[in-house]
Amino acid sequence: MFLGPWATVALLLGMTNLAVSQGSLGLIDTLMASGASKFASLIQSDPDVLQLYLSGQIRTVFAPCDCVSDNITLEERKLSPKGHQRAAFQAAKDETSLAMSKQSLPGSTLETADQTPLLEGRGQRVVIDTRPVNVTGPTKRWHTPLASRQESDKAAQSLLRITSGLGNTTNVVRGDIPYDGGLIHITDSYFTLPQPVSSTSQATGQTSFAGLLAKSNMTNTLESTHSVTIFLPSNAAFSSTNTSVPATELLSNHVVAGTVSYLPDLTDGSCLTTTRGELLTVSVREGQYYVNGARITKANLVLENGVAHVIDKVLVPKLPTPVTGGSSPKKIGLGSALGVVASLVLLALV
């Protein structure tokens, strides 16, 4: 059936009005109607958090469904600092739909409303990871009892995977719900708050790195450094490496300061410079990411002051070139020695 130009305009206007009416509800009402009433109550329990969510700065809300145990003790009128941080961590500044999130590999990052001085005042990020599950091998820390989790698994399918602190994965089970400030995505858990690298490496199994860090008295220095990218060798990597490089130099060769490079920021051929001054080159082969030949086996462990990636090899720095003092005799190479002998022979002939 052919529609005339005015009929087409009227139809488009009708569709626009329908979309507006569907997204005209406020945040709290939309959360209540979408099965996230507990999260709505959490937001309303603290005036500062409520003001943040209604300020217009928030465009995407990741709201845990009511089946999730939040483990947050609601005070009478105000959340604890950790509760406030956790609530802010569930909100992103930019609007992102499911379609937008799946446009590129290996995904993208979203800046949340959880700001920290360790990131130069920028918001902490969560990472949308669109790579196949068999490549990323994500871990999952559940917040719900086993029975509830099984029922949830039967009813809901993951529409999007998002990684946060400790590299834990949160699944979007219902997305693109409009409200008058942006979009809401319903998730199966809260995002995990970022931890310091010492706690993160211990929790994710890189205990050799954590032990070496403590033994070298570098923990406080590294965890107070702003905006870092850290490559964490696995325990197996340390076990198979025999090097005499001092621990402080070895650890420094796994730290990049001044930049936070999540997996979406690491592109084939890109380079990073460690705090020791060594150059790290990124390569991507068949969907796998490598740094100076070391494969990234687990990516995007969001830290308080940046991000960490687990690698399967130790990045041993090059041996330092010995510096020769001015009064020390210079060694003559074989070629130079032959040249001197030849000159003496010529002089003798003359």
In three-state secondary structure terms, 4 is coil
Please determine, for residue 221, whether its predicted confidence score (pLDDT) is greater than 60. Answer: yes
Radius of gyration of the chain (CA): 27
pLDDT value for 156: 60
Report yes or no: 270 and 283 within 8 Å, Cβ to Cβ. no
Note the pLDDT tens digit of each residue in 225-278. 999 999 999 999 999 999 999 999 999 999 999 999 999 999 999 999 999 999
The domains found in the chain, sorted by start residue, are: 17-187 (2.30.180.10), 197-311 (2.30.180.10)
**Among 184, 159, 143, residue whose Cα is nearest residue 30:** 184
CA distances from 175 to 110, 144, 160, 316 (A): 16, 20, 9, 44
**Among 329, 68, 25, residue whose Cα is nearest residue 182:** 25
β-partners of residue 91 are: 61
Please determine, for residue 133, whether its predicted confidence score (pLDDT) is greater than 80. Answer: no
**Among 184, 206, 180, 186, residue whose Cα is nearest residue 195:** 206
| Residue listed under structure tokens 């051929």 | 269
Please determine, for residue 50, whether its predicted confidence score (pLDDT) is greater than 90. Answer: yes
Percentage of the residues of the chain whose pLDDT score is greater than 70: 75
Please determine, for residue 328, whether its predicted confidence score (pLDDT) is greater than 90. Answer: no
pTM of the full predicted structure? 0.79
